[in-house]
Amino acid sequence: MQYRYGIVAAADAATLSGRELLQGMIDGRFPAPPMCEALTFWLTEVGEGTAVFEGEPGAHLLNPMAVVHGGWTMTLIDSATGCAAQTLLPAGGGYTTVETKVNFSRAIRADTGRVRAEARVVSKGRQIISAEAQVRDRDGKVLAHGTSTLLVLQDRS
């Protein structure tokens, strides 16, 4: 799939629920965030309280030990859990991450191939949403897993 990158106009975003906005990115009606191009991962699926990202590790993500930097995996988990939370927000709503905790299970290498981060909301309150995610390789092995606590922001429209 060919992605385009940019920022969704605030006026457009304010009229859509979080899930509608994210689905619009998947469908290509809205651009994917610029960071997705640099970090080679993309939102591929959303549901009610769920989100899936896929990512392509590569040489551009390697640390001095020749493995993919853990910050990439953490950012992938933070993005997936945040978008899972966003699917539950009304038009004009927003969120910000309070905390993300990640456990690394296996090294991700430049040649690992496409990985998949599946996230789901565990608990939604008026102010706090908790979500969890797992990153798996193409064989289904868990590479990392984590949790995020997200603060619901009041209507930003």
Which residues neighbour 111 within 8 Å (Cβ) at sequence distance 6 or greater? none
Topology of domain 10-153, CATH: Thiol Ester Dehydrase; Chain A (3.10.129)
Distance CA 113, CA 133 (A): 19
* pTM of the predicted protein model: 0.94
The residue ranges of every structural domain in the chain are 10-153
pLDDT of the residue at 114: 97
pLDDT of the residue at 2: 75
State the residue for tokens 């106009």.
9
Task: Return per-residue pLDDT of the chain as tens, 157 residues.
Answer: 678 999 999 998 999 999 999 999 999 999 999 999 999 999 999 999 999 999 999 999 999 999 999 999 999 999 999 999 999 999 989 999 999 999 999 999 999 999 999 999 999 999 999 999 999 999 999 999 999 999 999 765 4
